């Protein structure tokens, strides 16, 4: 997603030297002098704003849309006729599949059954995918096309070859692929799909689909993990536990930028020391996060005790806390690269 929003001056520059902008300036001048051509209606601040918004070039709107959340985007689409097709397809998908706006834009979860997580009824886990009708598939395909254009994310569950084949004609060129399944006790933990994980990924890759993020199943094995990480080249990974990750593979995956760890009870200081040792040998990683599925009163203190902040700083990293983590929404420890650091 883009990091900074274009200023109003950028939009003003885009309107300069155009007939629309000259007309707009003429109306503004008339309103300021108190005189108005007989053929026009007196210009108010509100009408000026509406005119300005409705005449922003589409090239500028394309730069603005990626910064908008779903609710704001719908309001903008209602104000600008050229964008109404976006809110229209959001409405069709939302009503057809009973999805709230925050599950549609800018991150769209292809429809699944949702289940409450363990002792936390407010936390929902993705279950088995829902079969879509031909009309729903067509609408979802158009939504995913728009999301892809404007830098959003489509979440796809690796489940079965049949499910994947049905969606292939409608999928965007980039996906975040996650694992899950009915009655899963942990998000992104064990693979519960019908067909082998690799078979689903290979089918997607054969169609030219790139993977923005992939999940690494729990205890996947060093060789399988190496193949998953190296062959499919996702820049973002999610892993269950630090202990089970073959850290030596990290050196070989120069495309990798970020890993989200779902911390396991088996993780200990030795696991973190091993991870820090490999950080001293690589420069491509930018961010690591560590979150636990079942928050306990002492887990954060325990996790903080696993890290050597002084050594992290020497390696060009810093440690911080995130109030709501990316997996469960719990407090998370985050390691971020601040500089290249010293490689040994």
The domain of 250 spans 100-337
Q: Is the pLDDT of residue 118 over 70?
A: no
Give the residue-averaged pLDDT of 21-44.
Answer: 50
Q: Is the pLDDT of residue 202 over 60?
A: yes
| Structure confidence at residue 146 (pLDDT) | 95
Both 173 and 116 in one domain: the answer is: yes
What's the pLDDT tens digit per position in 208-221? 999 999 998 877 77
Give the residue-averaged pLDDT of 128-136.
Answer: 90
Token pair for residue 55?
Answer: 């005449």
Residue 337, Cβ neighbours under 10 Å: how many? Answer: 19
Both 248 and 135 in one domain: the answer is: yes
Give the residue-averaged pLDDT of 273-288.
Answer: 86
What's the pLDDT tens digit per position in 174-191? 999 998 754 444 455 566
Q: 16 in a domain, yes or no?
A: yes
Q: 70 in a domain, yes or no?
A: no
Alpha helix ranges (H) inside 176-307: 197-206, 222-232, 269-279, 299-306
Q: Is the pLDDT of residue 154 over 90?
A: yes
Provide the domain count of the chain. 2
What pairing do the DSSP bridges indicate for beta strands 107-109 and 153-157? Answer: parallel
Q: Determine the 3-state secondary structure of 246 from DSSP.
A: coil
> How many residues are recorded in the chain?
344
Output the pTM of the full model: 0.76
Top-confidence residue, 38 or 68: 68
Could you tell me which residues are beta bridge partners of residue 319?
335
Top-confidence residue, 336 or 303: 336
Backbone dihedral region for residue 59 (phi beyond 0: left; psi -120 to 50: alpha; all else: beta): alpha
Both 60 and 179 in one domain: the answer is: no
Q: Out of 65, 83, 108, pick the residue that ends a domain.
A: 65
| Structure confidence at residue 31 (pLDDT) | 43
Give the residue-averaged pLDDT of 46-53.
Answer: 58
């Amino acid at each position: 997603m883009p990091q900074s929003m274009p200023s109003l001056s950028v939009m003003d520059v885009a309107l300069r030297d155009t007939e629309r902008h000259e007309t707009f300036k003429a109306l503004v001048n008339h309103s300021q002098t108190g005189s108005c051509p007989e053929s026009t209606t007196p210009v108010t601040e509100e009408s000026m704003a509406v005119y300005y918004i409705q005449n922003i070039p589409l090239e500028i709107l394309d730069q603005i849309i990626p910064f908008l959340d779903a609710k704001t985007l719908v309001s903008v689409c209602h104000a600008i006729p050229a964008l109404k097709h976006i809110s229209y397809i959001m409405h069709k998908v939302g009503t057809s599949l009973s999805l709230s706006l925050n599950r549609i834009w800018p991150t769209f979860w292809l429809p699944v059954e949702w289940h409450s997580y363990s002792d936390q009824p407010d936390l929902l886990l993705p279950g088995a995918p829902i079969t879509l009708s031909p009309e729903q598939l067509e609408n979802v395909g158009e939504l995913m096309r728009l999301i892809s254009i404007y830098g959003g994310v489509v979440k796809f569950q690796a489940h079965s070859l049949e499910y994947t084949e049905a969606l292939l004609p409608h999928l965007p060129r980039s996906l975040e692929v996650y694992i899950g399944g009915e009655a899963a006790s942990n998000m992104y933990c064990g693979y519960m799909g019908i067909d082998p994980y690799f078979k689903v990924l290979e089918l997607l890759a054969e169609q030219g689909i790139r993977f923005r993020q992939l999940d690494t199943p729990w205890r996947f094995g060093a060789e399988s993990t190496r193949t998953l990480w190296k062959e499919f080249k996702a820049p973002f990974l999610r892993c269950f536990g630090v202990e089970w990750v073959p850290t030596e593979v990290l050196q070989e995956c120069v495309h990798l930028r970020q890993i989200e760890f779902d911390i396991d009870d088996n993780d200990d200081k030795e696991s973190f020391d091993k991870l820090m040792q490999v950080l001293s040998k690589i420069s491509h990683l930018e961010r690591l996060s560590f979150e636990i599925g079942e928050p306990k009163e002492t887990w954060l203190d325990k996790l903080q005790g696993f890290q050597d902040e002084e050594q992290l700083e020497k390696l060009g990293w810093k440690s911080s806390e995130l109030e709501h983590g990316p997996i469960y929404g719990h407090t998370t420890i985050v390691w971020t690269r601040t500089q290249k650091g010293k490689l040994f």
